[in-house]
Amino acid sequence: GSGDDAEGDDAVRKVKIAYDQASKPMSWIDENGKPTGYDVEVMKLVDELLPDYEFEFVGTTSDDLLIGVEQGKFQAGVKNAFWTEERTKKFLYPEEFLGLSSAGLVLRKEDENIKSLEDFASAGYSLAPIAANNAQYTVIEEYNNAHPDNPVKLQAGDSFTVDVVQWVNEGRVDGGVMIEGPFEKQVTAKDGPYHHLEEEVVYNEFDVIKTWPLFNREEKELAAAYDGAVKKLKEEKKLEELSEEFYGRNLFDVLDSVDR
Amino acid sequence: MQQSLNIPFLIDTFFTALSGVPITLAVTAVAMLIAVPAGFLLALSRVNEVPVLREITKVYVSFVRGTPIIVQIFITYASVPLILTALFEKYGIQANVYELNPIWYAFIVFSFSTTAILSEVFRSALSTVDRGQLEAAWSVGLTGFQSFRRIIIPQALVSALPNLATATVNLIKATSLGYALSLQEITLKAKVAANAGYNYIEAYIDIFLVYLILCSVVEFAFKKYEQRAARFRVQHV
Amino acid sequence: MLEFKGVRKSFGPLQILKGVDVEIGKGDVVVILGPSGSGKTTLLRCLNFLERADAGTARLGSLEVDLNRATKKEVHAVRQKTAFVFQNYNLFNNKTALENVMEGLITGRKQPKETARKKAAAALDKVGLSDKYDAYPVQLSGGQQQRVGIARALALDPEVILFDEPTSALDPELVGEVLGVMRQIAADGTTMLVVTHEMQFAKDVASQVVFMDDGVIVEAGTPGQIFDRPAEERTKRFLRRVLPDEYNYSI
Amino acid sequence: MLEFKGVRKSFGPLQILKGVDVEIGKGDVVVILGPSGSGKTTLLRCLNFLERADAGTARLGSLEVDLNRATKKEVHAVRQKTAFVFQNYNLFNNKTALENVMEGLITGRKQPKETARKKAAAALDKVGLSDKYDAYPVQLSGGQQQRVGIARALALDPEVILFDEPTSALDPELVGEVLGVMRQIAADGTTMLVVTHEMQFAKDVASQVVFMDDGVIVEAGTPGQIFDRPAEERTKRFLRRVLPDEYNYSI
Amino acid sequence: MIEKYFDPSYIWTAFSQLMPFLKVTFAVSGLSILFGTLLGLLLAAAKLGKSTAARKLADAYTTIMRCTPSIVLLFLVYYGVPFLAGQFGLNLHDVHTAVFVVITFTLQFAAIMSEVARSAILSVNRGQYEAAVSVGLSPLQAYRRIVFPQAVVVALPNFANGLIALLQEGALAYTIGLIDIVGKANLIVAANFNAHALEIFIALALIYWVLSILIEQFFSLLERWLGRGKRTIKTT
Ligand SMILES: Nc1ncnc2c1ncn2[C@@H]1O[C@H](COP(=O)(O)OP(=O)(O)OP(=O)(O)O)[C@@H](O)[C@H]1O
Ligand SMILES: Nc1ncnc2c1ncn2[C@@H]1O[C@H](COP(=O)(O)OP(=O)(O)OP(=O)(O)O)[C@@H](O)[C@H]1O
Ligand SMILES: [Mg+2]
Ligand SMILES: [Mg+2]
């Protein structure tokens, strides 16, 4: 790892770990230009446990992360990635997941009773666009494939321009998919920019989903090493602490009910 | 480690990208339909030195020329609904701004920027017509309006055509930024298709080909039209 | 017939016309001579309201207008009664020879298309361009373009035709062509006011020659008076300089 | 001194020069006359390699070149021995009058700057432009520009100066200015080949007059022979048309 | 409603956060302009030259560049170049993103520049060249001393337009992860969880606007200075 004892050791392998630089609080570049976020911090801990590897964190866009990991520009990448069928053809998923993510619908207060994608679809509501390369897009798409008679209106867009909370509150859309973490920081937190909307919008979780680092298909050894390290971190409850720190909630409490 | 191109995907996605052409053309057409007359009026305001309007036009043109279109898109997309709602509330208009299809934002953004560009195109075209043409028209008893309609505009149009073609091609290219508006045009359609299997390179090759074909056709059409409209310039002697 | 009085015009601080009076009878051919910059073009342009004079009146038959304060309607009326032949032709580039001549008749005078076509064709025939109806200006030589310009003026059947150096943009061979046409029109009794440097034409055709310098009329009279017995020193000096047989080689 | 033989030139299918021979002695002033399009300009341009002739040879003093196959070096040598005065001046727009004249001396002839400046000033003085050294072309009148063009040619001290209608872009008053300068240069014994429409100049100054039509030389001789006793019908027809005292008014 | 989402104070904070990243924008555009101008001059020479093949090639290149949206070109270069290099066993994975951005906009600017240069040289009357050779300058000297100095003046306004256009097309570099001012704006927006994006965009627009006005002013000064010989003096 990056420990001092490893200096000068020929066996140490430098690997590039890409992270989505604009995905707070999962991964982002902080005010000082340093990478941080739940995903990044877990990987930093993993790095410490792996004396044979030295991680270099490279911030990039999520498009580039996917292509870069696939092409071997990066050995691995973290971007709050979900598991999808297509991705297994391009990437190597490790045994151990990285974290948990609560995916939910942001809704206006009066729509509080909508608790699932089925309810949302039945109401005929409109959904904020999701960037096509975001796994949230795939999650909804999978739902739609499973419920051809009651699909959610799904639109591809650019994450840069979509402010889900504002859009829902304005009425530009009826709902939007969001990860709980950002919603927490934006609305629930006292210093959140939309704390004043706390009484107007709600977050209704519809699923808790495992997130994964993506490895280049050649990186079987690295993935195995990662597996060992993460297993240890989970046992030490390190991940639960990070979940608390970045998402304001220990998602591992509901791990039993997580099915993907 | 290196893969080769996924040819079947390349072919399939070419047609997916092609299916975005109607939206691209619709946005282009609407923007042009609005921008041609509006740009012309603004050009007249500068040629004829209409006091306040001339100054406003200058600032407006400078803003459009001075800022990236993607930033104009971001701003429009973020602000237009806010402004409209505020206006509607103030005047008690019962309308929901948010039922707007994103294509309306595309219409707004691209008409807004194209109008500014065309006002410059027309201004320089009008200034290429010799003042003597106007004087000759007056001297045979035409009124100011008649002179413009029958003598000045037909001539200005011809010298505007090459720039009009460039503006159209640039507009078509700019609609590729419609992804930021969730506009279902060529680029976004191909990117969504690419997402399924992460075949980005193939998708971008397809997008590239579609634009190449589209713009070449537009350029060709303009050239043909220019030849027709400019017959009075061709020397047959 | 045509009479103007006290025409004054300045461009900024520069006084170009300092009170010019001219009177032209019906069927007269008046030639204006004068050195470059003396204000000849400006005078013609003021009469046709291509420039607004600062002061002065014009009487055209029964129509009397103030050259400075004429209303839009009066301007239009004057332009309907006069025609202008430009030094550099100013043909409508986007119209054929025939269309150039028809334009004023159809759009300006509201004549039916067929009548206009007949009149236009007759005017073009008169200037010897029967075979050029459908040529665009770029397809015509300088002399041909200038003749279309004359036909365009003729077809309007105006009370006066104003010519501004109708031959100065032409090469020596084409000059003859155009002057020939003008001579014939003059013979037909059309009233003409002509600015030109062609002394021979002035001698042969003019009923009256006006010599202008520095914004005023220095001298006016028959060609015989002006060319053979000029009264003013300025006129003599000018004639010495421009008459073709007396090139002045000193620098 | 200067002699050229069998000069031929076509533009595409159009044969412009059909075998032209001219011989000029030292100090001669040869004037080429002829109707528009007869190939006069093309002939001069071929001599200076501004166009490549299809065939023909030129002898300039001891230098003999093939007008079609001359090497780069030969072309440069010919251009160093001749100078060209363009109809439309072609002054270097980005240089002052003095710099215009100096350019060929410094860059072309590799003369030191100071020598060049003195020669250029002397040439400009000769054409009466002592007060215009630092004026850019746009600041000069047409006649002044043409005189700078002549000074530019003179300063090179070439064996022959080629003039292409040096006065046709000028107004009547400026023509006198430029012809005066040319007359003076001729009197100084410079060899000149002049294309012009100015009959008076030809009469007064030429040692030989050449009449060209349709790509061939129709007739050559002294001014007296050509103007007073032309042998060819074509020459007579042309002179009748262009001589100033005999305007031909028929269309 | 507006007050709920719009807070002008974000604009001012955004300025101070964005400004440091202007140097990235400048570096990338500056290099693209430099290389693009050189390549563009080569293309212009090909277009004006005698070789038909070179001319056709240069024309085709220009057409393709004219017809390709920047964002598409950007991705093709960014993913395509390493991909192609990979086919030849060359590993470009450690090359910085900015390099691909510079390559992209160099390619694009070269096309613009070749047309600017071509039309500028053609706009100089052929008589200027003829007069130069007639006073004994060699063809190369004639171009260097007489034609080019005049062509440069003609080219300046179009060059400035091309420059401004390039600066703006460069705004799309954020899509491949370059952190220039637009990339930084993206990060700021993300750090605010996408809230108050409008204010950040406005700051961004203002920066670009001022920049382009400065460029325009600079070039019109330059033009006046270089165009001394073209100055039109009103004579009576
Ligand atoms: N629009 C204008 N603005 C300023 N000055 C002008 C304008 N038009 C003409 N002048 C000036 O007015 C004077 C007279 O010009 P005008 O064209 O009437 O002369 P002219 O007698 O026709 O000369 P020429 O024989 O050269 O045509 C000139 O000094 C000219 O520079
Ligand atoms: N570059 C060219 N391509 C095609 N034809 C040309 C070219 N240059 C000249 N010509 C033609 O060659 C003929 C002779 O032209 P040239 O300029 O030599 O005539 P000229 O005797 O100088 O006439 P002018 O007195 O009108 O100047 C003309 O018919 C002209 O149209
Ligand atoms: Mg005049
Ligand atoms: Mg000629």
The partner residue sitting opposite B235, judged by closest CB among C93, C139, C156, is: C139
- Tell whether A185 is within 8 A of chain E (Cβ): yes
In contact, C151 and C126? CB cutoff 8 Å: yes
Q: Which residues of E touch D104 (CB under 8 A)?
A: 135-137
- Residue C11 tokens, joined: 């461009």
Please report which confidence band the pLDDT of residue E126 belongs to, taking 50, 70 and 90 as the band edges.
confident
CA distance A29 to E190: 9
Strand (E) or helix (H) holding C85: strand C82-85
Q: What is the pLDDT of residue C169?
A: 67
Residue D246 has pLDDT above 50, yes or no: no
Q: How many CA atoms are closer than 13 Å to the CA of C160, on its beta-carbon side?
A: 26
If one compares C210 and A137, the residue with the highest pLDDT of the two is C210
Chains touching chain E, criterion 3+ CB pairs below 8 Å:
A, B, D
CA distance D198 to D203: 9
Q: Could you give the C-alpha distances from A26 to D112, D160, D182, in angstroms and in order?
A: 75, 86, 88
Per-residue pLDDT tens digits for A145-182: 889 999 998 888 776 667 888 888 888 889 999 888 88
Phi and psi for C27 in degrees, rounded to 5?
80, -5
CA distance B1 to A13: 19
State yes or no: chains D and A have 3 or more CB pairs below 8 A. no
Average pLDDT over chain E, rounded to an integer: 88
Predicted interface score ipTM higher than 0.90: no
Please report which confidence band the pLDDT of residue A10 belongs to, taking 50, 70 and 90 as the band edges.
low
C43 assigned to some structural domain: no
Q: Which residues of E touch B74 (CB under 8 A)?
A: 197-198, 201, 204
C237 assigned to some structural domain: no
Alpha helices, DSSP H only, in C82-156? 97-103, 113-126, 142-155
Please report which confidence band the pLDDT of residue C243 belongs to, taking 50, 70 and 90 as the band edges.
low
The partner residue sitting opposite D79, judged by closest CB among E136, E146, E230, is: E136
Ligand 1 pocket, C215 CB below 6 A? Answer: no
Q: What is the pLDDT of residue D64?
A: 92
- Residue A231 tokens, joined: 């297993």
Q: What is the pLDDT of residue A176?
A: 92
D236 assigned to some structural domain: no
Residue E233 has pLDDT above 50, yes or no: no
Please report which confidence band the pLDDT of residue E234 belongs to, taking 50, 70 and 90 as the band edges.
very low
C227 assigned to some structural domain: no
Pocket probe mutation, ligand 1, options C10, C11, C162, max atoms within 8 Å of Cβ: C11
D188 assigned to some structural domain: no
State yes or no: chains B and D have 3 or more CB pairs below 8 A. no
Q: Give the chain E residue whose CA is nearest to the CA of A68.
A: E93
| Closest-CA residue to C105 (of C123, C93, C87) | C123
Range of the domain at D124: 87-157
In contact, B204 and B101? CB cutoff 8 Å: no
The partner residue sitting opposite B132, judged by closest CB among C86, C104, C108, is: C86
The partner residue sitting opposite A66, judged by closest CB among B85, B98, B198, is: B198
- Residue D129 tokens, joined: 């432009």
Per-residue pLDDT tens digits for E174-196: 888 889 999 999 888 888 877 88
Specify the range with the lowest mean pLDDT, choosing from D25-34, E198-207, E218-227: E218-227
Phi-psi region of E20 (alpha: psi -120 to 50; beta: other; left: phi over 0): alpha
Strands (E), D73-207: 82-85, 160-164, 191-195
Please report which confidence band the pLDDT of residue C42 belongs to, taking 50, 70 and 90 as the band edges.
very high
- Residue E209 tokens, joined: 């606007």
Average pLDDT over chain C, rounded to an integer: 88
Residue D135 has pLDDT above 60, yes or no: yes
Shortest-distance Cα residue to atom 10 of ligand 2:
D11
Per-residue pLDDT tens digits for C67-79: 999 998 899 889 8
Residue C118 has pLDDT above 60, yes or no: yes
Write out the DSSP string of B210-236: HHHHHHHHHHHHHHHHHHHHTGGG---
CA distance D86 to E132: 11
Q: Which residues of D touch C128 (CB under 8 A)?
A: 251
Q: Which residues of D touch C173 (CB under 8 A)?
A: 35-36, 241-242
The partner residue sitting opposite D197, judged by closest CB among C172, C181, C248, is: C172
- Residue C212 tokens, joined: 């202008």
Please report which confidence band the pLDDT of residue B234 belongs to, taking 50, 70 and 90 as the band edges.
low
The terminus-to-terminus CA distance of chain C in angstroms comes to: 44
Structural domains of chain B ordered from first start: 22-182 (1.10.3720.10)
State yes or no: chains A and B have 3 or more CB pairs below 8 A. yes
Residue D251 has pLDDT above 60, yes or no: no
Q: What is the pLDDT of residue C250?
A: 34
Q: Which residues of C touch D171 (CB under 8 A)?
A: 36, 168
Please report which confidence band the pLDDT of residue C54 belongs to, taking 50, 70 and 90 as the band edges.
very high
User: Which one of D50, D81, D92 makes the best mutation probe of the E interface by having the most chain E beta carbons within 10 Å?
Assistant: D92
CB contact under 8 A, B138 and C104: no
- Please tell me whether residue D49 adopts helix, strand or coil conformation: coil
Q: What is the pLDDT of residue E32?
A: 96
Q: What is the pLDDT of residue D250?
A: 34
Per-residue pLDDT tens digits for A218-259: 999 999 999 999 999 999 999 999 998 888 888 888 888 887
D2-11 and D55-60 beta bridge pairing: antiparallel
In contact, C85 and C149? CB cutoff 8 Å: yes
Residues 208-237 of B with CB under 8 A from A: none
Q: What is the pLDDT of residue E236?
A: 28
The terminus-to-terminus CA distance of chain A in angstroms comes to: 31
Determine the average pLDDT of the residues in B77-81: 84
Q: Which residues of A touch E93 (CB under 8 A)?
A: 68, 71-73
CB contact under 8 A, D173 and C245: no
Ligand 1 pocket, C13 CB below 6 A? Answer: no
Compute the residue count for chain D. Answer: 251
CB contact under 8 A, D180 and C249: yes
- Tell whether C50 is within 8 A of chain B (Cβ): yes
Shortest-distance Cα residue to atom 25 of ligand 2:
D36
Beta bridge partners of C10: C15
Q: What is the pLDDT of residue E3?
A: 67
| Closest-CA residue to B229 (of B163, B160, B178) | B160
Q: Hey, how many other C-beta atoms are within 10 angstroms of the C-beta on B51? A: 7
Pocket probe mutation, ligand 2, options D9, D15, D31, D38, max atoms within 8 Å of Cβ: D38
Q: Which residues of B touch A66 (CB under 8 A)?
A: 198
D147 assigned to some structural domain: yes
Structural domains of chain E ordered from first start: 9-235 (1.10.3720.10)
| CB burial string B197-208: b at 16+ within 10 A, e below | bbbbbbbbbbbb
DSSP-assigned letter for residue C86: B
If one compares D186 and E43, the residue with the highest pLDDT of the two is E43
- Please tell me whether residue A168 adopts helix, strand or coil conformation: helix
D113 assigned to some structural domain: yes
Q: What is the pLDDT of residue C14?
A: 86
In contact, E157 and E222? CB cutoff 8 Å: no
Looking at the structure of chain C, the number of domains it has is 1
D53 assigned to some structural domain: no
Q: What is the pLDDT of residue C144?
A: 87
Nearest chain D CA: its distance from E232 CA (Å): 6
Residue D39 Cα: closest atom of ligand 2: 18
Q: Which amino acid is at B146?
A: Q
CA distance B140 to C100: 10
Q: Could you give the C-alpha distances from C251 to D62, D164, D174, D179, in angstroms and in order?
A: 37, 21, 10, 9
Percent of chain D with pLDDT over 70: 95
Average pLDDT over chain B, rounded to an integer: 87
Q: Give the chain E residue whose CA is nearest to the CA of D141.
A: E235
Residue D212 Cα: closest atom of ligand 2: 21
Strand (E) or helix (H) holding B54: helix B51-66
